[in-house]
Amino acid sequence: MPGKNLSREEARDRAAIIRVESYRVHLDVSAAADPGRPTFRSTTRISFDCAEPGATSFADLLAPEVVSVELNGLALDPAEVFDGARVTLPVLAAHNELTVVAECAYSRTGEGLHRFVDPADGETYLYTHYEPADARRVFANFEQPDLKAPFTFTVTAPAAWDVYANAVHERITDEGAARTWEFAPTRPISTYLTAVVAGPYHVVRDHYTRELPDGTRLEIPLAATCRRSLAPHFDADEILTVTKQGLDFFHQEFDYPYPFGKYDQCFVPEYNIGAMENPGCVTFREEFVFRSKVTEAAYESRANVILHEMAHMWFGDLVTMKWWDDLWLKESFADFMGSYAQIGAGTRYRSAWITFANRRKAWAYRQDQFPTTHPITADIRDLEDAKLNFDGITYAKGASVLKQLVAYVGRDAFFEGARAYFRKHAFGNTVLTDLLDALEETSGRDLRAWSAAWLQTSGVNTLTPELVHDAEGRITELAVRQDGTPLRPHRIAVGLYDLDADGALLRTDRYELDVAGERTVVAAAAGRPVPALVLVNDDDLTYCKVRFDERSLETLRTGLGGLGGLGGLADEAGPDAPGLARALAWSAVWNLTRDGLMPTRDYLDLVLRFAGRESDVGVLQSLHQQAGDALAVYADPARRAEYGTALAECALRELSQATPGSDHQLAWARFLADTAERADHLQLLRGLLDGTGRIDGLTVDQELRWSFWLALASHGRASAEELAAELERDNTAGGRRQRTQCLAALPTPEAKAAAWAAVVDSDELPNALVEAEIAGFNRPGQRELTAPYAAPYFEALETVWAERSIEIAMRIVGGFFPRYQTTPETLAATDAWLSTRPDAAPALRRLVLECRDDLARALRAQECDAQ
């Protein structure tokens, strides 16, 4: 498989003969502030052994120009050995020295070495992002995770800049207008985990100290950085507090000292993902530096990401998967640990498992019902497959299954197995069986059958209660029916709930048991009074979709808002148990709606009646998002306007009744902006913008202003001139993105044509503005304006995939899909493209298949709602 892609077989063959001793990489970015310089000089020296002297292999490099290639003292002609993606290495010796000098390109897409110019002050910032295979955009290497080696980086940068990398710097040499930073060698790590961050970053420093069991003292220098223009908003103290709490927790549980020296956390602009676990130099999207008021859920989310990336220092960096098939060996564990550690580390964020049940699992359930779903341990044929596998299965389903595994083997056995795994495989690469061996050793359980059921098959099971009672209202049999293929073993809790005198649903009984096969009887429930509600998977111990018997579903229709009281069982529940039960019920009714088993009107009625009573602001914000999605694609089109008005009225009512200055007030204000369509609602938003309107306690700060402007722009109530004036008020990177989205959202043919041309017909925009253009273009209330682009979309797909970087291509394919054209005609057009393009790139076909599945699901839900 030639070119930019790399197949699993090629990686396996190369790893069979190549062992890398070390890398020395010098990057000269001293002219990075000059926009006329599209490239930087990269010099790489690789020392490596070859098990088959005389063999031919290759190094990876994506660069516009290779200046020179030298192998074992012999100069090779770049025109002969470099094809744009690979450097051929002929007649290898037992030991080899390779030097490659190249002009590598600065990135606008967040892949490789990304260059960003801050519109607020004109300063230039650089950072790298490589996962899964973009280190080759910055230096020549063997780009696969199982060829680990120590890396020594040297970076020449403008004199006024700071430079960060995986290791501490050992020397800084002044060279007039530039300085050269020399960093210590790293421990052996994979190419995709190396990192360089450079620019005039604002930095806050701290220190972590821990006494180790052997009596030595562990010293870890800490740093947190962001762009200078964001410094007034940078709450580094809170970030570093969570960092220290996490280091305490992971040292306690993993019993393996943090192995990478320092711990820098760099918040960088135009970042494609949430964060990346580069050892010693973690990078985060700078949207985690909050410019305006956000809810507690946003702070909790950031803490989760901080702890997720920290868990990777052990799961992923210290021990790394051999190939991307076992990506879950790091991502599932980090996703699980991000939530687990928030509670275990004693952070102030106590709703971690509620958020996990409500948000992360929703992502997993959606992904696992696509026709393209895959086992947690996936079949990753090549790098394009790997790029698409950073999905809800690898992260959220894998984390859910690990939560089940902890319940299955026991907490102590699980963590002791992890400790043994780290000790045995430190700085190495592993596969599934390596972890199972460690856990079997500590738990005494045979995990092969468990692994086959949970890790090596796909799909989500459904658990439904079946209740039979006698004439006196006593349970004669309570059973749990399992549907789905394959049937799996589950450790679950079944909760029985009844109404008290005040109408609250209190848990009266809880039964924990193993479920296996099609039907499992809850024997201990026999003879108990028939409850108002049976909640299977209470406490969210397993990964499944939950269904209800008819009595329970009817109870939720009238009492969902009061669900969660623990009654006499409070002592045996965790602090989040009341909210968790309610979150599980909300998740279940959302899945019923998505599956076309509950009319959208019934789901929206639950939101209208009970969202205002939701105490957890994270759950509330999820309800807002899901209600918006239900309205946009699942509702009967004939009733869409009616539903939309009802939601906006609900938002306005709850906004006026919310505690002034509260998180709930802010959440309802944003939801009003998302749902406002009527003239009086839009006029209220304009009044809040210009000061003629006021809601007690609501601060209309910059981010909320942009939310209101987007609503007004989408309905033709904002002009380009007004949006330009708002940009002058907020002349920042965030303001530029928001204005771009607002302009693309204007309800005119000209605005849609401009957004389409800027993204599809041109490759000039950086990744952040591509995202903004797409978000503004595809607005749910503008179906007639975007309908003409359905045919051009399908015509452009293969060209986009061939000519753009995979990151930008993925955004275009998913973002411009006509998902709001929820008609049989759009489904037929999608099927026609798929049927006539059997040889299109598999990763491209997967994306289109997933869009097609979402569309077909929407049509089924609309049909259910129309009945």
Which residues belong to the active site?
Answer: 309
SS3 state at 200: coil
* Residue among 253, 250, 231, 254 nearest 242 (CA): 250
Q: Rounded to an integer, what distance in angstroms lies between the CA atom of residue 311 and that of residue 78?
A: 41
Q: Rounded to an integer, what distance in angstroms lies between the CA atom of residue 384 and that of residue 805?
A: 11
SS3 state at 358: helix
Counting beta carbons within 10 angstroms of the beta carbon of residue 799, is it exposed (0 to 12), middle (13 to 18) or buried (19 or more)?
Answer: exposed
**What residue spans of 426-529 are helical by DSSP H?**
432-443, 448-454
DSSP-assigned letter for residue 166? S
Q: Rounded to an integer, what distance in angstroms lies between the CA atom of residue 68 and that of residue 676?
A: 60
User: In this structure, what is the dihedral angle of CA atoms 694, 697, 698, 701, given to the nearest 10 degrees?
Assistant: 110
Q: Rounded to an integer, what distance in angstroms lies between the CA atom of residue 290 and that of residue 256?
A: 34
Amino acid in position 188: P
330 in Cβ contact with 321 (< 8 Å): yes
Contacts of 586 (CB under 8 A, 6+ apart): 358, 560, 619, 622, 623
**CA distances for 132 relative to 135, 201, 388, 514, angstroms:** 9, 26, 10, 38
667 in Cβ contact with 624 (< 8 Å): yes
Q: Rounded to an integer, what distance in angstroms lies between the CA atom of residue 405 and that of residue 304?
A: 21
- According to DSSP, the residues that pair with 825 across neighbouring strands are none
- To which residue do tokens 């009817």 refer? 554
44 in Cβ contact with 139 (< 8 Å): yes
Q: What share of the chain is helix, strand, coil (3-state, %, to 5)?
A: 45, 20, 30
Residue 341: both structure tokens together: 């550690």
Phi, psi of 781 (to 5 degrees): -90, 10
Q: Rounded to an integer, what distance in angstroms lies between the CA atom of residue 631 and that of residue 683?
A: 22
